[in-house]
């Protein structure tokens, strides 16, 4: 897993749509795994709120199988379909986009 890339995704979910969004997130995980784009490590999923902003925030932390997996996901119609279904369940807030993604390389302990 040394070449995997950790992704931290922030989803600003519309109030009252948390359960629907989490179902889509489960489908997303299944498709990414079936396409061998993510590692077998179970993602960490958190539900909370952003400081000074109303509305639910879902954080998902997962590992892409390699540095190029995210780009491959962007070109796959199954993944695009799931991403499109996320759109109506999320919203921009305070000038922040509905989704934000950080892709980071995990460092070994020093």
Instruction: Report the distance separating Cα 71 and Cα 80, nearest Å.
Output: 12
Report whether CATH 3.30.70.100 matches the domain 5-104.
yes
The whole-number mean pLDDT for each consecutive block of 10 residues of the chain, a chain of 110 residues, reads 84 97 96 96 95 94 95 94 95 94 88
Q: Which two three-digit tokens encode residue 67?
A: 């540095």
* Exposed / middle / buried, residue 13 (Cβ in 10 Å: 0-12, 13-18, 19+): buried
Model confidence pTM above 0.95: no
């Amino acid at each position: 897993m040394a070449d995997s890339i950790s992704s931290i995704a922030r989803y600003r979910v519309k109030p009252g749509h948390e359960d629907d969004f989490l179902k889509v997130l489960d489908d997303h995980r299944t498709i990414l795994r079936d396409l061998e784009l993510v590692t077998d490590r179970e993602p960490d999923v958190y539900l909370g709120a952003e400081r000074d902003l109303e509305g639910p925030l879902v954080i998902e932390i997962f590992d892409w199988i390699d540095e190029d997996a995210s780009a491959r996901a962007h070109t796959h119609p199954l993944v695009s379909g799931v991403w499109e279904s996320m759109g109506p369940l999320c919203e921009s807030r305070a000038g922040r986009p509905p989704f934000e993604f950080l892709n980071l390389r995990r460092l070994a302990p020093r």
